Amino acid sequence: MSENKVNSVYETDNLGLAAYMALNGLDYVGTKLGVGKNEKLKVYFQFNDIAGAGPTLEKDFLISSEKRFRDYLFFFRSEVDKGMEQKDGSIAKNYRSRKYGSR
């Protein structure tokens, strides 16, 4: 995670944290592009943070129900994906044929 406060602008590359910041009153300013590890492109979400609330909101987010919900959502989504990857492929094949009309 890369968060910092520069000239009353708080930025993060964490999508969940960005949504939490917006839900908790920080005004979204825009995005900027950057380069992370291994030359990977990163998108940073920027918020107007005149009161300096960003660091406190970040800490609050880490123990929030919203973060727990998001973590569980990702977990259960991965369980669905694993369930679709049965060894013989039968479940996934039947699902794909109904969803996309292929045989």
Residue 102 has pLDDT above 60, yes or no: no
Supply the pLDDT for residue 10.
96
Domain that includes residue 28, residue range: 1-63
What are 9-38's pLDDT values in tens digits? Answer: 999 999 999 999 999 999 999 999 998 888
Residues 91 and 46 in one domain: no
Question: Do 51 and 2 share a domain, yes or no?
Answer: yes
Predicted confidence at residue 6, as pLDDT, reads 54
pLDDT one-digit tens code per residue, 32-80: 999 888 889 999 999 999 999 999 999 999 999 999 999 999 999 998 8
Q: For residue 54, with 0-12 CB atoms within 10 Å meaning exposed, 13-18 middle and 19 or more buried, which class applies?
A: buried
- 71 and 44 together in one domain: no
Same domain, yes or no: 46 and 81? no
Rounded to the nearest integer, the mean pLDDT of the chain is: 84
The verdict on 2 and 33 lying in the same domain is yes
Residues 59 and 71 in one domain: no
**With contact defined as beta carbons under 8 Å apart, do 33 and 43 qualify?**
yes
Q: Are residues 6 and 56 in the same domain?
A: yes
- 4 and 17 part of one domain: yes
Same domain, 4 and 51: yes
Confidence of residue 103 (pLDDT cuts 50, 70, 90): very low
| pTM for this predicted structure | 0.69
